[in-house]
Amino acid sequence: MKSVGLIVEYNPFHNGHAFHLQASKEAANADVVIAVMSGNFLQRGEPALVSKWYRTRMALLNGVDLVFELPYSFAVQKAETFANGAISILEAAGCESLCFGSENGDIAAFLRTVTFLDEKQQPFNEKIKHFIKTGVSYPKATALSYQELADSENFLDLAKPNNILGFQYIQAINRQKSKLRPLTISRKNADYHDEHFASETIASATSIRKAIFAEESKSANIKQYVPEPTYQILQEYKHHYGGFHRWENYWELLQYQLITSSPGELKEIYEMEEGLENRLTKAAIESSSFQEYMEAVKTKRYTWTRLQRLAVHILTNAKKEELKRNSEKAAYVRLLGMTAAGKEYLNKMKKQFSLPLVTKLSTYNGTEIQQDIKAARVYAMVYPSRQRNKMLQQEFKQPPIFIQK
């Protein structure tokens, strides 16, 4: 069975994702679609709109055949580490190709850029250090350094978020000597960060979430931008849990952590830089909402995304020593769901997996999964005890979801 891998968040699954999925399957001539999906907290440092189990159902009902979880220690990370984890899982699962959406849409441009920067690695790194000293953020310093070195239109625009991720996927494939064949397709209509609906049927996940939060009592205005299974699952989640997850729900938990932790304890948190803990604590004391807190702490050097990721790590008490130790490759492959075709693929391939396949938490004792468990508990904390217990029982007792198509 030919397989194509997708690296996703599906927050939520929308029409653009459906286009990407079908185009990827065709580009790879694949029988099976394997998705590596972030858990309950996402790459930009945000809680997922709905839990990973509900997003797994969205994925399976919309055409994905296997859903594996991207562990917390890779999911809530900068692009390089995020890519390392996802590629290692696809490789371990015997996947043949990877197809990602990009603003560029030309795989040759990605390969040229990766080769070019490998050859220019020393001057590239020197330029990054130079720009960081001027006070800009690391992503900005990287983009500026690249612009100075690569003046040809044959190379990628690495200021675009999906180009950046695709670039890191290919670098991870090279670093890990993976057999994955990289493919890319152009993103359709909506840009990654668009906050407004830009067409009649295609919208970014950002704009869909914004619409949901703006009119939580009547989410019908998103119906044309998401497949019917997504819409129904969102309605179901809202009925069971009373609403969707956003940062403001977690503000008091974050504020408590910052106010009650000592500077020494905060220094141990992953991505915490020397002296930043004092700025964060002061802002937590003086702020009345997460939005106000973020506006108080954001600087030219510390981007909104980086500070959101740090906030997630503070919430989950993720220590530097834990996450740095687990940042190269995943230690396990956790199955969240499958279709009949996915089950057939597993039956044929699972004995060849190069990492342990986890279908129940009780069957895997590795320390790496403890961060996922902590994240699941924190994610559920914003609900009253009945809903919280229900969500946690699902985390610990839910077998992989099976959808018979």
Give the pLDDT confidence of 77-134 residue by residue, as tens digits.
999 999 999 999 999 999 999 999 999 899 999 998 899 888 888 888 888 888 888 8
How far apart CA 73 and CA 299 sit, in angstroms, is 25
Q: Which CATH class is domain 3-103+185-225+331-403?
A: alpha beta
Establish whether 82 is an annotated binding residue.
no
Convert the pLDDT of each residue in 133-191 to its tens digit: 887 777 778 878 887 887 666 678 888 889 999 999 999 999 999 999 999 999 765 45
Establish whether 18 is an annotated binding residue.
yes
In this prediction, residue 262 has a pLDDT band, given cuts at 50, 70 and 90, of: very high
Taking 80 as the threshold, does the pLDDT of residue 293 lie above it? yes
Establish whether 239 is an annotated binding residue.
no
20-24, 138-142, 170-174, 209-213: least confidently modelled range: 138-142
Establish whether 8 is an annotated binding residue.
yes
What pLDDT is stored for residue 201 in this prediction?
Answer: 84
Taking 60 as the threshold, does the pLDDT of residue 192 lie above it? no
Establish whether 47 is an annotated binding residue.
no
Domain ranges of the chain: 3-103+185-225+331-403, 247-325
What pLDDT is stored for residue 148 in this prediction?
Answer: 81
Place of tokens 């929308």: 14
In this prediction, residue 323 has a pLDDT band, given cuts at 50, 70 and 90, of: confident
Establish whether 15 is an annotated binding residue.
yes
Establish whether 128 is an annotated binding residue.
no
Establish whether 39 is an annotated binding residue.
no
Establish whether 20 is an annotated binding residue.
yes
Convert the pLDDT of each residue in 217-252 to its tens digit: 554 589 999 999 999 999 999 999 988 999 999 999
What pLDDT is stored for residue 307 in this prediction?
Answer: 97
How far apart CA 197 and CA 192 sit, in angstroms, is 12
Establish whether 13 is an annotated binding residue.
yes
What pLDDT is stored for residue 99 in this prediction?
Answer: 98
The tokens for 373 are 């468990």
**What is the torsional sign of CA 246, 283, 275, 264?**
negative
Q: How far is CA 216 from CA 116, 221, 306, 347, in A?
A: 47, 10, 28, 42
Q: What would you measure as the largest C-alpha separation in the chain, in angstroms? A: 58
